Structure 1
Protein backbone atom coordinates (compact mmCIF):
# COMPACT_ATOMS: atom_id res chain seq x y z
CA UNK A 1 0.00 0.00 0.00
CA UNK A 2 2.86 2.37 0.80
CA UNK A 3 4.44 1.71 -2.61
CA UNK A 4 1.16 2.52 -4.35
CA UNK A 5 0.84 5.74 -2.35
CA UNK A 6 4.36 6.83 -3.34
CA UNK A 7 3.68 5.98 -6.99
CA UNK A 8 0.55 8.13 -6.88
CA UNK A 9 2.50 11.01 -5.31
CA UNK A 10 5.23 10.80 -7.98
CA UNK A 11 2.64 10.53 -10.76
CA UNK A 12 0.88 13.65 -9.42
CA UNK A 13 4.14 15.58 -9.26
CA UNK A 14 5.04 14.51 -12.80
CA UNK A 15 1.57 15.47 -14.09
CA UNK A 16 1.77 18.91 -12.44
CA UNK A 17 5.27 19.80 -13.66
CA UNK A 18 4.70 18.37 -17.15
CA UNK A 19 1.59 20.55 -17.52
CA UNK A 20 3.48 23.58 -16.21
CA UNK A 21 6.34 22.95 -18.68
CA UNK A 22 3.94 22.58 -21.61
CA UNK A 23 2.22 25.88 -20.73
CA UNK A 24 5.64 27.58 -20.62
CA UNK A 25 6.60 26.15 -24.03
CA UNK A 26 3.24 26.73 -25.74
CA UNK A 27 1.11 29.33 -23.97
CA UNK A 28 -1.35 29.30 -26.90
CA UNK A 29 -3.20 25.96 -26.88
CA UNK A 30 -5.87 25.43 -29.54
CA UNK A 31 -8.82 26.47 -27.34
CA UNK A 32 -7.15 29.73 -26.28
CA UNK A 33 -7.10 31.12 -29.82
CA UNK A 34 -10.81 31.69 -30.23
CA UNK A 35 -11.65 35.36 -30.66
CA UNK A 36 -14.75 37.49 -31.01
CA UNK A 37 -12.77 40.54 -32.19
CA UNK A 38 -11.65 39.30 -35.63
CA UNK A 39 -8.08 38.83 -34.50
CA UNK A 40 -5.92 36.12 -32.96
CA UNK A 41 -3.75 37.19 -30.03
CA UNK A 42 -0.73 35.02 -29.22
CA UNK A 43 1.27 35.15 -26.01
CA UNK A 44 5.07 34.93 -26.23
CA UNK A 45 6.60 31.90 -24.50
CA UNK A 46 9.45 32.04 -21.98
CA UNK A 47 12.04 31.67 -24.76
CA UNK A 48 10.60 34.72 -26.57
CA UNK A 49 8.93 32.76 -29.37
CA UNK A 50 5.33 32.63 -30.52
CA UNK A 51 4.21 28.99 -30.41
CA UNK A 52 0.59 28.02 -30.99
CA UNK A 53 -1.57 25.03 -31.78
CA UNK A 54 -3.25 24.99 -35.17
CA UNK A 55 -4.16 22.68 -38.03
CA UNK A 56 -2.85 21.65 -41.42
CA UNK A 57 -5.46 20.02 -43.66
CA UNK A 58 -7.59 19.47 -40.54
CA UNK A 59 -4.83 17.69 -38.58
CA UNK A 60 -3.68 19.28 -35.29
CA UNK A 61 -0.08 20.56 -35.30
CA UNK A 62 2.05 22.94 -33.25
CA UNK A 63 3.34 26.03 -35.04
CA UNK A 64 6.39 28.17 -34.34
CA UNK A 65 5.77 31.51 -36.05
CA UNK A 66 8.85 32.45 -38.08
CA UNK A 67 8.81 35.64 -40.14
CA UNK A 68 12.31 34.74 -41.35
CA UNK A 69 11.05 31.58 -43.04
CA UNK A 70 9.91 32.09 -46.62
CA UNK A 71 7.46 29.21 -46.50
CA UNK A 72 5.72 26.93 -44.06
CA UNK A 73 8.27 24.20 -43.27
CA UNK A 74 7.85 20.76 -41.72
CA UNK A 75 9.54 17.41 -41.28
CA UNK A 76 9.30 14.59 -43.80
CA UNK A 77 7.72 12.40 -41.12
CA UNK A 78 4.88 14.88 -40.55
CA UNK A 79 4.42 15.35 -44.31
CA UNK A 80 4.06 11.59 -44.66
CA UNK A 81 1.48 11.48 -41.85
CA UNK A 82 -0.46 14.27 -43.60
CA UNK A 83 -0.30 12.42 -46.93
CA UNK A 84 1.27 15.39 -48.74
CA UNK A 85 2.30 15.07 -52.38
CA UNK A 86 5.93 15.46 -53.25
CA UNK A 87 6.86 18.39 -55.49
CA UNK A 88 10.21 19.58 -56.79
CA UNK A 89 13.41 18.71 -54.92
CA UNK A 90 15.06 21.66 -53.20
CA UNK A 91 18.08 22.47 -51.06
CA UNK A 92 17.13 24.62 -48.08
CA UNK A 93 19.21 26.72 -45.72
CA UNK A 94 18.23 25.97 -42.12
CA UNK A 95 19.61 27.08 -38.78
CA UNK A 96 21.51 23.77 -38.76
CA UNK A 97 22.98 24.28 -42.26
CA UNK A 98 21.97 23.02 -45.69
CA UNK A 99 19.35 20.27 -45.98
CA UNK A 100 17.54 18.47 -48.77
CA UNK A 101 13.80 18.62 -49.12
CA UNK A 102 10.90 19.07 -51.50
CA UNK A 103 8.08 21.49 -52.18
CA UNK A 104 4.41 20.74 -51.55
CA UNK A 105 1.04 22.50 -51.26
CA UNK A 106 -1.18 22.54 -48.19
CA UNK A 107 -4.93 22.57 -48.81
CA UNK A 108 -5.54 24.57 -45.63
CA UNK A 109 -3.62 26.05 -42.73
CA UNK A 110 -5.59 27.19 -39.68
CA UNK A 111 -4.49 29.27 -36.71
CA UNK A 112 -7.43 29.99 -34.43
CA UNK A 113 -10.28 31.15 -36.67
CA UNK A 114 -7.86 32.30 -39.42
CA UNK A 115 -7.68 29.84 -42.30
CA UNK A 116 -5.60 30.21 -45.47
CA UNK A 117 -6.03 27.81 -48.39
CA UNK A 118 -3.51 26.56 -50.97
CA UNK A 119 -0.36 27.43 -49.00
CA UNK A 120 3.09 26.56 -50.36
CA UNK A 121 5.35 24.59 -48.04
CA UNK A 122 8.76 22.96 -47.81
CA UNK A 123 9.38 19.49 -46.41
CA UNK A 124 12.86 18.73 -45.08
CA UNK A 125 14.48 15.88 -43.21
CA UNK A 126 16.29 18.42 -41.04
CA UNK A 127 13.10 19.64 -39.36
CA UNK A 128 11.87 18.76 -35.86
CA UNK A 129 8.96 16.29 -36.06
CA UNK A 130 6.99 18.09 -33.34
CA UNK A 131 7.04 21.63 -34.72
CA UNK A 132 5.96 23.31 -37.96
CA UNK A 133 7.58 26.62 -38.91
CA UNK A 134 4.75 28.95 -39.86
CA UNK A 135 6.52 31.08 -42.44
CA UNK A 136 5.61 33.92 -44.77
CA UNK A 137 3.70 31.79 -47.29
CA UNK A 138 0.97 31.83 -44.59
CA UNK A 139 1.80 35.03 -42.69
CA UNK A 140 1.80 37.28 -45.79
CA UNK A 141 -2.00 36.84 -45.84
CA UNK A 142 -2.21 38.55 -42.42
CA UNK A 143 -1.58 41.86 -40.77
CA UNK A 144 0.45 41.35 -37.61
CA UNK A 145 1.45 43.67 -34.80
CA UNK A 146 3.63 42.96 -31.81
CA UNK A 147 2.79 44.70 -28.55
CA UNK A 148 4.58 43.85 -25.30
CA UNK A 149 4.52 40.04 -25.09
CA UNK A 150 1.67 39.60 -27.57
CA UNK A 151 1.44 39.11 -31.31
CA UNK A 152 -1.87 40.24 -32.80
CA UNK A 153 -2.84 38.63 -36.13
CA UNK A 154 -5.69 39.83 -38.39
CA UNK A 155 -6.72 38.64 -41.85
CA UNK A 156 -6.09 41.22 -44.59
Structure 2
Protein backbone atom coordinates (compact mmCIF):
# COMPACT_ATOMS: atom_id res chain seq x y z
CA UNK A 1 0.00 0.00 0.00
CA UNK A 2 1.31 3.38 -0.95
CA UNK A 3 0.87 6.23 1.48
CA UNK A 4 1.61 9.82 0.84
CA UNK A 5 3.75 11.87 3.04
CA UNK A 6 1.65 14.72 4.34
CA UNK A 7 3.75 17.75 4.44
CA UNK A 8 2.52 20.55 6.69
CA UNK A 9 1.96 23.69 4.66
CA UNK A 10 1.48 21.74 1.44
CA UNK A 11 -1.50 22.64 -0.79
CA UNK A 12 -3.32 19.44 0.28
CA UNK A 13 -2.86 20.21 3.99
CA UNK A 14 -4.01 23.79 3.48
CA UNK A 15 -7.12 22.58 1.63
CA UNK A 16 -7.96 20.17 4.50
CA UNK A 17 -7.47 22.95 7.06
CA UNK A 18 -9.76 25.31 5.14
CA UNK A 19 -12.34 22.53 4.75
CA UNK A 20 -12.34 21.80 8.50
CA UNK A 21 -12.64 25.53 9.27
CA UNK A 22 -15.59 25.93 6.90
CA UNK A 23 -17.24 22.85 8.39
CA UNK A 24 -16.84 24.25 11.88
CA UNK A 25 -18.27 27.60 10.77
CA UNK A 26 -21.26 25.82 9.20
CA UNK A 27 -21.94 23.93 12.44
CA UNK A 28 -21.67 27.15 14.47
CA UNK A 29 -24.01 28.98 12.06
CA UNK A 30 -26.54 26.13 12.34
CA UNK A 31 -26.38 26.24 16.15
CA UNK A 32 -26.77 30.05 16.18
CA UNK A 33 -29.80 29.83 13.89
CA UNK A 34 -31.34 27.16 16.13
CA UNK A 35 -30.72 29.30 19.23
CA UNK A 36 -32.32 32.37 17.63
CA UNK A 37 -35.37 30.33 16.54
CA UNK A 38 -35.71 28.71 19.96
CA UNK A 39 -35.35 32.07 21.74
CA UNK A 40 -38.02 33.64 19.51
CA UNK A 41 -40.40 30.72 20.17
CA UNK A 42 -39.96 31.08 23.93
CA UNK A 43 -40.50 34.84 23.73
CA UNK A 44 -43.72 34.32 21.73
CA UNK A 45 -44.98 31.98 24.48
CA UNK A 46 -44.01 34.40 27.25
CA UNK A 47 -45.25 37.59 25.56
CA UNK A 48 -47.61 36.77 22.68
CA UNK A 49 -48.81 40.40 22.47
CA UNK A 50 -45.40 42.06 22.15
CA UNK A 51 -45.93 43.00 18.48
CA UNK A 52 -49.53 44.19 18.68
CA UNK A 53 -50.76 45.99 15.61
CA UNK A 54 -53.62 48.40 16.27
CA UNK A 55 -55.77 49.33 13.30
CA UNK A 56 -56.43 53.06 12.92
CA UNK A 57 -59.74 53.93 14.55
CA UNK A 58 -59.91 50.62 16.44
CA UNK A 59 -62.28 50.59 19.42
CA UNK A 60 -61.16 47.33 20.98
CA UNK A 61 -58.00 45.49 21.89
CA UNK A 62 -57.69 41.70 21.62
CA UNK A 63 -55.00 40.09 23.76
CA UNK A 64 -53.67 36.55 24.03
CA UNK A 65 -52.82 35.03 27.40
CA UNK A 66 -49.23 33.91 27.87
CA UNK A 67 -48.33 30.42 29.06
CA UNK A 68 -48.30 31.62 32.70
CA UNK A 69 -51.91 32.83 32.31
CA UNK A 70 -51.07 36.56 32.24
CA UNK A 71 -51.92 39.25 29.74
CA UNK A 72 -48.86 41.33 28.80
CA UNK A 73 -48.94 44.13 26.28
CA UNK A 74 -46.88 47.08 25.09
CA UNK A 75 -47.98 50.62 25.82
CA UNK A 76 -46.78 54.13 26.55
CA UNK A 77 -46.46 56.21 29.68
CA UNK A 78 -45.82 59.88 28.95
CA UNK A 79 -44.64 58.90 25.46
CA UNK A 80 -42.14 56.30 26.69
CA UNK A 81 -42.58 52.61 25.78
CA UNK A 82 -43.42 50.23 28.63
CA UNK A 83 -44.63 46.68 29.03
CA UNK A 84 -47.89 46.37 30.95
CA UNK A 85 -49.14 43.39 32.92
CA UNK A 86 -52.92 43.50 33.39
CA UNK A 87 -53.67 43.20 37.10
CA UNK A 88 -57.33 43.41 38.13
CA UNK A 89 -56.21 43.02 41.74
CA UNK A 90 -54.23 46.26 41.66
CA UNK A 91 -56.19 49.39 42.62
CA UNK A 92 -53.90 51.70 40.67
CA UNK A 93 -51.24 51.51 38.01
CA UNK A 94 -48.13 50.33 39.85
CA UNK A 95 -44.87 51.51 38.31
CA UNK A 96 -41.52 50.10 39.43
CA UNK A 97 -39.87 53.03 41.25
CA UNK A 98 -36.66 52.68 39.20
CA UNK A 99 -38.67 53.56 36.05
CA UNK A 100 -40.11 56.77 37.53
CA UNK A 101 -37.38 59.16 36.33
CA UNK A 102 -37.33 57.67 32.82
CA UNK A 103 -41.12 58.01 32.56
CA UNK A 104 -41.19 61.56 33.91
CA UNK A 105 -43.06 60.59 37.09
CA UNK A 106 -42.62 62.68 40.21
CA UNK A 107 -42.80 60.89 43.57
CA UNK A 108 -45.50 62.35 45.79
CA UNK A 109 -46.87 61.51 49.22
CA UNK A 110 -46.01 58.12 50.71
CA UNK A 111 -48.80 55.58 51.04
CA UNK A 112 -49.03 52.02 52.28
CA UNK A 113 -50.45 49.40 49.89
CA UNK A 114 -51.07 45.68 50.24
CA UNK A 115 -49.41 43.58 47.56
CA UNK A 116 -49.08 39.86 47.01
CA UNK A 117 -45.80 40.16 48.93
CA UNK A 118 -47.29 42.07 51.87
CA UNK A 119 -47.45 45.74 52.82
CA UNK A 120 -45.23 48.16 50.87
CA UNK A 121 -44.73 51.90 51.19
CA UNK A 122 -45.13 53.48 47.77
CA UNK A 123 -45.06 57.06 46.52
CA UNK A 124 -48.22 58.41 44.92
CA UNK A 125 -47.86 59.91 41.44
CA UNK A 126 -49.98 60.88 38.44
CA UNK A 127 -49.40 59.75 34.87
CA UNK A 128 -50.05 62.61 32.46
CA UNK A 129 -50.68 60.32 29.49
CA UNK A 130 -51.11 56.55 29.36
CA UNK A 131 -51.69 54.74 26.06
CA UNK A 132 -52.65 51.09 25.87
CA UNK A 133 -53.68 49.85 22.43
CA UNK A 134 -56.24 52.27 20.98
CA UNK A 135 -57.05 53.74 24.40
CA UNK A 136 -55.53 56.94 25.75
CA UNK A 137 -56.09 58.13 29.31
CA UNK A 138 -54.89 61.30 31.00
CA UNK A 139 -54.12 62.17 34.60
CA UNK A 140 -54.13 58.55 35.76
CA UNK A 141 -53.76 57.74 39.46
CA UNK A 142 -50.73 55.55 40.06
CA UNK A 143 -47.86 54.93 42.40
CA UNK A 144 -44.14 54.25 42.32
CA UNK A 145 -43.38 50.92 43.97
CA UNK A 146 -39.81 50.41 45.26
CA UNK A 147 -40.46 46.69 45.77
CA UNK A 148 -40.88 45.97 42.07
CA UNK A 149 -37.61 44.84 40.48
CA UNK A 150 -38.82 44.03 36.96
CA UNK A 151 -39.62 46.55 34.22
CA UNK A 152 -43.26 45.46 33.93
CA UNK A 153 -45.86 48.05 34.91
CA UNK A 154 -48.98 46.65 36.60
CA UNK A 155 -52.01 48.01 34.77
CA UNK A 156 -54.48 48.31 37.62
CA UNK A 157 -58.10 49.28 38.02
CA UNK A 158 -57.43 53.04 37.82
CA UNK A 159 -57.23 52.30 34.07
CA UNK A 160 -59.13 49.04 33.68
CA UNK A 161 -62.32 50.41 35.30
CA UNK A 162 -62.80 52.50 32.15
CA UNK A 163 -62.89 49.37 29.95
CA UNK A 164 -65.14 46.39 29.40
CA UNK A 165 -63.57 42.91 29.55
CA UNK A 166 -64.65 39.87 27.55
CA UNK A 167 -62.63 36.70 28.12
CA UNK A 168 -63.04 33.61 25.96
CA UNK A 169 -60.51 30.82 26.26
CA UNK A 170 -57.03 32.31 26.02
CA UNK A 171 -58.26 35.61 24.56
CA UNK A 172 -59.20 38.82 26.37
CA UNK A 173 -60.98 41.64 24.53
CA UNK A 174 -60.91 45.12 26.00
CA UNK A 175 -63.25 47.84 24.76
CA UNK A 176 -64.85 51.06 25.87
CA UNK A 177 -68.28 50.22 27.36
CA UNK A 178 -71.07 50.91 24.89
CA UNK A 179 -68.70 51.05 21.90
- Name the TM-score, length of structure 2 as normaliser: 0.79
List structure 1 runs of 4+ shifted beyond 6 angstroms.
none
Match of 1:146 in 2: 167
Give the 3-state SS of the residue equivalent to 1:23 in structure 2: helix
Match of 1:84 in 2: 105
CA contact (8 A) 2:58 2:134 kept: no
CA distance in 1, matches of 2:122, 2:63: 30
> Deviation at 1:26?
1.1
Unmatched 5+ residue regions in structure 2? Answer: 1-20
Give the 3-state SS of the residue equivalent to 1:133 in structure 2: strand
- Counterpart pick for 2:45 among 18, 21, 24: 24
CA distance in 2, matches of 1:76, 1:136: 19
The CA RMSD measured in Å over matched residues stands at 1.8
Deviates more, 1:30-39 or 1:55-64: 30-39
> Deviation at 1:127?
1.1
1:46 aligns with 2:67: yes
- Counterpart pick for 2:148 among 127, 150, 153: 127
Which structure is higher in strand share? 1
> Deviation at 1:8?
2.4
Unmatched 5+ residue regions in structure 1? Answer: none
- Name the TM-score, length of structure 1 as normaliser: 0.90
